[in-house]
Amino acid sequence: MTVTDDVRTTLLDLRREVCALHEQLTRYQLVVWTAGNVSARVPGHDLLVIKPSGVSYDDLTPENMVVCDLHGRVVEGEHAPSSDTDAQAYVYRHMPEVGGVVHTHSTYATAWAARGEAVPCVLTMGADEFGGEIPVGPFAVIGDDSIGRGIVETLRHSRSRAVLMQNHGPFTVGKDARSAVKAAVMCEDVARTVHVARQLGTPIPIAPDRVDSLHDRYQNVYGQR
């Protein structure tokens, strides 16, 4: 597949954006060493931009972001793409509303994933951002689209923009890469706070109708329009 001139400017912008968003993963301490990644769909084209595999966060540049098609094949770039590329390409193929995917190994969210336990909706932040509990996806091997299938299977039945893949860690989705990064930050904050609450006692669930109301307000009213 050849990158045509009509998409070149879009790719340049997305390379810069995806590269810059990786700084947020380190800023919020959601990753260590070279783990984790951000990807973005190229609007109007069957392409994605993703972090190169095994490259230090300090060495990331817009130029070394990798462009792949939606089957994970490299279209442009000198580096091998993230080992999560096939999984994320599967998500883009099967969830057309998704414009960005993020994977981290953030401590608290990953601890819930290690237990195979969903994070219950006991905080207004959880209702706002995720519309209920943060669900657990199945155990899946790394390196093919198995993780992607688990993400899609789990999120199809949930309003959540985060899924805790069992024994692995969180994946988040959004309308674009920036919103997927925000979901990753919020996922870790909710997972951490609920963990602390459980050390103090039994957290109080939020009633489903209240969850619906909170989620609707946050998604459709909150902020600047």
Encode pLDDT of 75-126 as tens digits: 999 999 999 999 999 999 999 999 999 999 999 999 999 999 999 999 999 9
- Write down the pLDDT at residue 3: 77
Question: pTM for the complete prediction?
Answer: 0.97
Residue 102 phi, psi dihedral angles, 5° rounding: -130, 140
Q: Return the pLDDT at 115.
A: 98
Cα(42)–Cα(129) distance, rounded to whole angstroms? 24
pLDDT score recorded for residue 207: 98
Q: How far apart are CA 199 and CA 97, in angstroms?
A: 38
User: Looking at the predicted structure, is the pLDDT value of residue 201 above 90?
Assistant: yes
Q: What residue ranges define each of the domains in the chain, with the CATH number in brackets? A: 5-220 (3.40.225.10)
Alpha carbons 130 and 132: distance in angstroms, whole number: 5
Please give the pLDDT value at position 6: 80
- For residues 158 and 137, give the distance between their C-alpha atoms in angstroms, rounded to a whole number: 11
Q: Which residue has the tokens 């600047």?
A: 224
Q: Quote the CA–CA distance of 8 and 10 in Å, as a whole number.
A: 5
